[in-house]
Amino acid sequence: MPMQPWFSDAKLGIFLHYGIYAVDGVPESWSFFRGDVPHDRYMKQLDGFTASRYDPGAWADLFARAGARYAVLTARHHDGVALWDTAHGELDVVRRTPAGRDLLGPYAAALRERGLKVGLYYSHSDWNHPDYASVVHPEPPNEDVRTNRFVVPADGVEDPGAWSRFLAYRKGQVAELVDRFRPDLLWFDGEWERSEEQWRMGELARQILAGNPQTVLNARMLSHGDYATPEQGVPLLPPDGPWELCLTVNDSWGFQHQDHNHKSVRQLVRYFTETIGAGGNLLLDVGPREDGTIPAEQVERLEGLGAWIARHEEAVYGTVAGLPAGHHYGPSTLSADRRTLYLVCFDTPRESVSLRGLRNRVGRVRVVGTGTELAHRVTGGLGDVPGVLWIDAPQAGDVDEQATVLAVELDGELDLYRGTGRD
C-alpha cells in the first residue's frame, strides 16, 4: 500500500509513555530488565496505578492546542502490562490495577472527536511473558540480547513450542488492537531481540493490513515498515522516504519524579523546524503521572510550541522539505506548489538575512504572522552562478520570541544553483 498522505502532512505528533512505571517514577520496563529495580518491586507498582484523573478528552484538547495532528499511546510496553482488557493473558490494568478499566477506547474516541489520528505503541517483546525467553536471536546485536534472562532461555535450550505460543499471544493482542480500536498508526518496538524471520513480520503485517489496509506501520516492523524512526536527535542526513523524530520533552520517556530537565519552548521550536525542514515529523513525548495527568511543565511546553505553530501555520502545514544546507543559515520549508520559501531565523536578524544560490526572481518577502513586507535586493552573480539575495532585517515588532519566519515568494517553482562556481 502507498504511504498514507495524512502522515507527512501532520508534522507533529504526541508520544505518550503511560503505564505502571509512573507509580514509582522509574524507567519504563528497563528498570527491572537492567537490574536497577528488583522485578517484584517493579511489578508491585500494579497496586498503585489508579488512572484516577485520566481524562483523554483533556489530553486531546491539549494535543490540538499544541498543533499536533496525531498521538501515539503505549498500549503495551516491554513489561507486558496492557492498557486494555485483553483476552490474551491476564496482565492488564483492568484486572490487575485499581484503574480497573480499559484506557484505550476512551483515548481513541477522544482523539477522533477532535480530528486527530489515533496511534498505538505495541512492543513485540514481552519480558514478563512465560514463553518469551524461549529462543535465541541467530545473530545477537548486543550482550543483552545474547545473555539477559528476560530474553533468552536460562539453560540455553530453545523451546520452539513455547515460542509459537508467544507468537499466538502477540497475534491475538494485535488483532484486538486493530479490530477494537482501529488505529491509524501502529508504532512497534522491541524488534532488535529477534530476527525478522523469528518474528514472522510478514505474517503480522498481512494480518494488520487485512483488518485495516490504511494502517501506517513504523520501521520497527523491519522490512514491512512504512517510515523511519530516529530518536532523540535530528539526523544530519535525513532518512530516505517518510520519517519521524522521537523526542522527549525532558530526558525521560515516562514520568520520573526527579527529571526536571525540560527543554525550553525555544529549543522545541528549533527541534520542530529543523525536523520539518528536513522533511520529517516530530513525535514529541510526554510522560503522564500514574493518575493520568500530564505534568504542568510539559503542558506549558506543548502549549508554547502550539502557540508558535498557530502564528506560523502556513510555514508548517501543507509544506515539504526546504533548502539543502548552505543556502540559508537555518531550516526552511517550501510550499506544496514550490513557489514560496519559508526561512526560519532563530536569532534576531541584524541588518539583513541572506539567501544563496536562488535562480528565481523574488516577487516579495514578508514576515509570517504579521504580514510586514521587507525590502530585498540581489548583489553579485556571474554567468550561471546567481548572486546573493539580501533581505532587510525585520523591525523589533516583527521579530518572534522563539523564531521568526520570512516568506519568500518566487516567480515560479524553486530553482536552485548547486554548482561549484566558475572554473
How many residues are listed for the chain in this entry?
423
Distance CA 394, CA 266 (A): 19
Average pLDDT, rounded, for the chain? 96
Residue 35 has a pLDDT of 96
Q: pLDDT tens digit string along 12-38? A: 999 999 999 999 999 999 999 999 999
pTM to 2 decimal places: 0.96
Strands (E), 117-248: 117-123, 185-189, 216-217, 244-248
Q: pLDDT tens digit string along 302-361? A: 999 999 999 999 999 999 999 999 999 999 999 999 999 999 999 999 999 999 999 999
Q: pLDDT tens digit string along 167-217? A: 999 999 999 999 999 999 999 999 999 999 999 999 999 999 999 999 999
The answer to whether 333 and 342 are in contact (CB under 8 A) is yes
User: Among candidates 335, 340, 336, 375, which has minimal Cα distance to 358?
Assistant: 340
Q: Reduced to 3 states, what is the DSSP secondary structure of residue 300?
A: helix
What CA dihedral angle connects 133, 134, 135 and 136, to 10 degrees? 40
How do the residues of the chain divide into helix, strand and coil, expressed in percent and rounded to 5?
30, 20, 45
